[in-house]
Amino acid sequence: MAPVYTLAGLLLGLASFERYALAAPTGTASASSPKSLLGYNPDNAVINGHTDDIQYEFAPGQTDSANIAAILDFNNVENPQPIRGSKGGLDPGPRTEEYNVLNPDVLAPPGTDHGGVANAQWPLGLSNNKLGLNRAGWSRQQNMDNIPSATEMAGVDMRLEEGGYRELHWHKAAEWSYVLNGSVRVQAMNEDGQTFVDDLNAGDVWFFPPGVPHSLQGLAGGVEFILVFDDGSFSEDNTFLASETFAHNPLEVLSKNFALPLSAWENIPPQQLFIFPGTKAPTDIAEQNVTGSAGIVPLNDSYSYHLSKAPPTHETAGGTVKIIDPTVFPIASGFSAAIVTVKPGAIREIHWHTTSDEWNFFLAGKARISIYAAVGNARTFDYNAGDCGYIPKSMTHYVENIGTEDVVFIEVLQADHFSDISLGQWVGLTPHQIVQDTLNLSDATVSAFKKEKQYIVQGDIPNES
């Protein structure tokens, strides 16, 4: 194959250069690279490359107009190339083809992309894992460190094995969580001394306000959940921990504070535990229902919502939307979210959010999002299961299923209710003459605009009539 030839030629060249270098006098640092290689010299003959011999295939649709931007599937395509319609060129260089297969719109962006839009995608598979003690679990995070424009929210993906704890702690940010797999016991106490304990399953949600101390423990089979914080600079390395609170107060003070002898503190952990194995939670949750005179956290302030048992809010031919916001879960007063399922070929319609950025996490499938960021700037990103996304307020976006399985993702807003402006509904409810004068569309086109939000649109591109 041609590229192998080229590569072999290159390697041979390097090898002979190194032999030369080795034979050169040693002793001084500069002796190994001869001065005669500097700049033009008729003796330094140029050997023409062979990049025009590169063998490759196009994905179906790749040579269609770049502005149509067909969905590209580079699976089973030999040597994918950065070409869209009439744009682009060959890539003979070093690369990891797996990235191209995962991100076809990054290798060959739609012709409608233009200018610069800040990065809006982060695969959690590239986040460093923080490993818990004795295999009790792990966690990894996305914050402004990896998506610099993600100022309003940050995310953490965490696993706790059965009996594994995320130790008693609190933080300055508010914490909203969606359970991905398994089940978990969550418990907390508020500033009034009201207590809370509950067990949650995959698809359920919890919330802890800033400063409210809580702990999490994996139940049978363990648990994985995604946490969203209302601060883009949040770091899980920077939380307030029970272990450290005890380790970093003078023992004399602890003894006075609790009216207990110094010997009470003999065995406290010398440093933080973070994620560690513990005694399995009792099956009967009532055994961990500790109450004082203030009783339990009242139901309307509950820190949990059993969302897995709620039906979808919107069901369309293209998928479903399940909304959870303070209208049903009041304690999470700033968090509005939707769990969205988009069927293959369908699209979460083009929309934007009026006052909040959007934090995304992809649970399943393969999707793309184009962000239009005003003043001519637009950029397309691809998302795979386990990726985070971030879309600043006001910027238009859609979520298109470009794979063969359902796309499932969470969109989280900082808002008192879940809302968006639908592009389709907007032009549908604007006087036709204004839309026609602006966009130069036919009567037939403008008359076909719908007056209702579609949320998710299913279907192929209709044929020309």
* The one-letter amino acid at 411: E
Sign of CA dihedral 373, 374, 375, 381: positive
Residues 335-374 as x/- pattern, contact with ligand NAG by CB under 6 A:
----------------------------xx----------
CB of 192 to ligand NAG, least distance (A): 11
Question: Closer to ligand NAG at the Cβ: 145 or 301?
Answer: 301
Q: Which is nearer to ligand NAG, 297 or 346 (CB)?
A: 297
Contact 218, 182 (CB under 8 A): yes
298 binds ligand NAG (CB under 6 A): yes
Distance in angstroms (rounded) separating the CA atoms of residues 130 and 114: 37
Query: Of 312, 330, 334, 386, which lies in the binding site for ligand NAG, with binding defined by CB under 6 A?
Result: 330
Nearest distance from C-beta of residue 185 to ligand NAG, angstroms: 10
- Residue 411 annotated in active site: yes
CB nearer ligand NAG, residue 159 or residue 368: 159
We find the least distance from the C-beta atom of residue 294 to ligand NAG, in angstroms, to be 11
- In the list 2, 54, 90, 296, the residue contacting ligand NAG (rule: CB under 6 A) is 296
- 441 part of the interface to ligand NAG, by CB under 6 A: no
Nearer to ligand NAG, 129 or 291 (CB): 291
CB of 159 to ligand NAG, least distance (A): 10
Sheet holding 121-123, edge to edge: 121-123, 387-391, 358-364, 407-414, 335-342, 319-324, 314-316
Which positions from 185 through 244 interact with ligand NAG, judged by CB under 6 A?
197
Q: Which of 51, 151, 181, 419 binds ligand NAG (CB under 6 A)?
A: 181
- The residue (of 181 and 245) whose beta carbon lies closer to ligand NAG is 181
| Binding of residue 308 to ligand NAG (CB under 6 A) | no
Interface positions, 45-84, toward ligand NAG (CB under 6 A)? none
50 is in an annotated binding site: no
Q: How many residues bind ligand NAG (CB under 6 A)?
A: 17
CB 376 within 8 A of CB 302: no
Q: Is 162 annotated as a binding residue?
A: no
Among 279, 440, 463, 465, binds ligand NAG (CB under 6 A): 440
353 annotated as a binding-site residue: yes
Establish if 404 lies at the interface with ligand NAG (CB under 6 A).
no
> Least separation, in Å, of the C-beta of 399 and ligand NAG?
16
Query: Near ligand NAG by CB under 6 A, which window of 57-65, 144-152, 164-172, 281-289?
Result: 281-289
Segment contacting ligand NAG (CB under 6 A): 61-69, 114-122, 294-302, 348-356? 294-302
Q: Is 286 in the site for ligand NAG (CB under 6 A)?
A: yes
Binding to ligand NAG, residues 99-138 (CB under 6 A):
none
CB of 401 to ligand NAG, least distance (A): 15
Q: How far is the CB of 318 from ligand NAG (least distance, A)?
A: 19
Binding status of residue 331 toward ligand NAG by CB under 6 A: yes
* Binding residues for ligand NAG (CB under 6 A): 180-181, 197, 285-286, 289, 291, 295-296, 298, 300-301, 330-331, 363-364, 440
What residues are annotated to the active site?
411
